[in-house]
Amino acid sequence: MDYLRRLGQSLDRPGFAWKQLIITFQIAQYAFEGFLSFRQYKILKQTRPPKTLEGEVNQETFDKSQAYGRAKAQFGLYSGVYSQIQNFGTIYYDLLPRLWDLTGTWLFRYSPKGFTGEITHTLIFFFAYNLITTTINLPIAYYSTFVLEEKFGFNKSTVKLWVMDLLKGQALGIALGAPLLSAFLAIVQKTGNSFFYYLFLFGIAVQLFAITIYPIAILPLFNKLSPLKEGDLKTGVEGLAKKLDFPLKQLFVIDGSKRSAHSNAYFYGLPWKKHIVIYDTLIEKSETEEVVAVLSHELGHWSLSHTTKLFGIAQFHMFYVFALFSVFINNRSLYRSFGFHKEFPIIIGFILFSEALAPMDMIIKLLMNVLSRKFEFEADEFAVKLGYSTELAKSLIKLQIQNLSTMDADWMYASYHFSHPILPERLGALGWSSKEKKADPKLMNGEKPSVVTGREL
């Protein structure tokens, strides 16, 4: 505790160029990630699939996959430039203090007495800032869904549904964000220098609340969950769960196809009561044994305690972030460098602290991806031991083709960006050997593609 206080004092240096330092961090990160993307783009220009996939992927499918990868890379470049312009404009023109002053003026003029404190001011500032950034980024979001994804046959949404999702998201942001942000600020205000301990406990409580409330109150606003019908798939999944002592409570099918051709399979819930959700697109495009193989991989993460380990790491990271925030919260030189000379709002301190923490976040991202790829190999091995080696390999290949996923990757780009091994690596670990060339005529005739996302295969 005393160490953190001394560290905070040593970093609070009047006149220190925090703004220039953070801009330098942002430029360096953008340049580094651009360099990685350039390396990956050269891979995406290759004309032949990796040797492991030569017997599985026809030339037409590979070419389309490469084109999709290049289109996403180009979109990432342009959207990245757009984001950098926003960031630099916000910093250079001191838009944060300007917006803080403007929302303060609104609060003074129009709010009733008793609602003019920092918490109310922060809520108005936060929602105004969120509305502005959401509006500015609408063209990027629209292009991603209705141009890029539409071009390659993945988008199944309509403009009306897209707008409704956007409005629902904003409404949820206000309904849930207001009390959570208010509680965050109140804890910092009332608990003194040791606030990060209480924020940590609050963060754990919020996560447990989210696990409980999300499938009950939030998910139904966007998708419909239906019980999985009786049949071979339900029997197979229930048998797998029983074999592993997985505390399965319910099996659901989700109507993911009304928005996208991508698909997913995941489980959620408290340790003693779990629910499995399978996207309708995954069921539609896979054989029963392949879906069970997918879930054997997913339940492998549970059986091998991967989910528990990742949850524990996430809690440690949250504590570390809040503890470091206590070092910066009273750093007046940081506030003044960004145009805050009279007021030092907590939320602004957290935003600026997050920007200063960016280089460390890059390292953590790299390490977490290394660990995640290790866990993926282990979950694959778990499925193999259950006897699903062939089915899992076939499912991986099918999903890769249907989703036009990247079939090869630059090692440096993959190390930094990918949380999952690329398909040739996984097939090699599974001991898969190709026997014949697959033409995939159905996939090339416009049938719906699918992929396992989120906690992916």
Q: What percent of the chain is predicted at pLDDT more than 90?
A: 70
Burial class (CB in 10 A: 0-12, 13-18, 19+), 328: buried
Asked whether the predicted pLDDT for residue 221 surpasses 70, the reply is yes
Secondary element (H or E) of residue 245: none
pLDDT band at 205 (very low <50, low <70, confident <90, very high): very high
Q: What is the structure's pLDDT at 271?
A: 85
Least confident among 143-147, 175-179, 270-274? 270-274
Please, how many CA atoms are within 13 Å of residue 340, restricted to the half-sphere of its CB? Answer: 25
380, 391, 408, 440: the active-site residue: 380
Q: What is the structure's pLDDT at 434?
A: 67
380 is annotated as an active-site residue: yes
| Separation between Cα atoms, residue 26 and residue 21, nearest integer Å | 9
Least confident among 64-73, 185-194, 208-217? 208-217
More confident residue, 99 or 261: 99
Average pLDDT over residues 17-37: 94
Average pLDDT over residues 299-320: 95
Strands (E), 303-409: none
| Separation between Cα atoms, residue 155 and residue 71, nearest integer Å | 15
Q: What is the structure's pLDDT at 17?
A: 92
Asked whether the predicted pLDDT for residue 238 surpasses 60, the reply is yes
Please, how many CA atoms are within 13 Å of residue 232, restricted to the half-sphere of its CB? Answer: 8
Instruction: Give the closest residue to 349 by CA, choosing from 361, 320, 21, 357.
Output: 357
For residue 205, how many other CB atoms are within 10 A of its CB?
11
298, 376, 408, 456: the active-site residue: 298
| Residues 290/391, Cβ–Cβ less than 8 Å | yes
| Separation between Cα atoms, residue 452 and residue 157, nearest integer Å | 18
290 is annotated as an active-site residue: no
Average pLDDT over residues 28-57: 93
Averaged pLDDT score across all residues of the chain: 89
| Residues 325/339, Cβ–Cβ less than 8 Å | no
Asked whether the predicted pLDDT for residue 269 surpasses 50, the reply is yes
Which tens digits make up the pLDDT trace of 430-452? 988 766 445 343 433 444 333 33
Which tens digits make up the pLDDT trace of 103-114? 999 998 888 877
Instruction: Give the closest residue to 23 by CA, choosing from 332, 361, 356.
Output: 356
pLDDT band at 116 (very low <50, low <70, confident <90, very high): confident
Average pLDDT over residues 414-421: 94
Q: What percent of the chain is predicted at pLDDT more than 70?
A: 94
Asked whether the predicted pLDDT for residue 453 surpasses 70, the reply is no
Asked whether the predicted pLDDT for residue 63 surpasses 90, the reply is yes
